[in-house]
Amino acid sequence: RIRTVHAFIMGQSQSAEIPIANPAPPAVPSTTPLANEVTLGAGCYWGTEKYIVKDFQKLFPNAVKSASVGFMSPAKDHQKNPSYRQVCSGATGHVEVLHLTLSEPEKHYEELIRFFFMFHDPTTKNRQGNDVGSQYSSFIFTHSDSQRVVAERVVRELQGHISRGTLSSFEGTEVKTKIGEATVFYPATEDHQNYLAKNPGGYCNHYMRFKAWPLA
């Protein structure tokens, strides 16, 4: 691009053509709107469902519009419609997850990701307590770029708190939670939905590891 500049030099008006850089394009937002679908793996999905559907909503009433437990694979080329037994074998690569829809993701998504880290151990790779295998991974499947940005920021915050000793509620000292793009969600059978609501004494190795997210 060429721009003409006029100037007065020694009492005379002169002009010159000066090349200048093209103007920068308008800024493009780095993220998309927060999706209302959320998929989280935190070990056995019975406990994940209970803590989010019941306990998270004690803090944020009506935050969850719908929720279902099931399976999701990090790989796009994965076995379709795996059974519970197949997933538990660890051979399919699927993760036990809670798949939910938020009523107001802009208000609740970041709060949910923080709460997610409060009831499971993100420092034990492919394990929660006695449950061992990739199906029990700590995993955040993202449904939009903005979800990924938020998840990565919260993970950095959490790692900072662990490294500084602000939080000492976990077995390890390095966050092993994986963040990956969501693929296909496969619902579990009906008898596994709302399992702990139907069976209050059922198996659950989750518990609240700390009561509030540290401020600094």
Q: Which residues are catalytic?
A: 44
118 φ, ψ (degrees, to nearest 5) = -85, -20
Q: What are phi and psi of 17, to 5 degrees?
A: -100, 120
- Give the containing element (helix H, strand E) for 59: helix 57-59
Distance from the Cα of residue 116 to its chain's centroid: 9
**CB within 8 A of 206, min separation 6: which ones?**
42, 43, 44, 47, 48, 50, 51, 119, 120, 128
Cite the beta strand spans of 31-187 per DSSP E. 37-42, 64-72, 95-102, 127-128, 131-132, 138-142, 178-181, 185-187
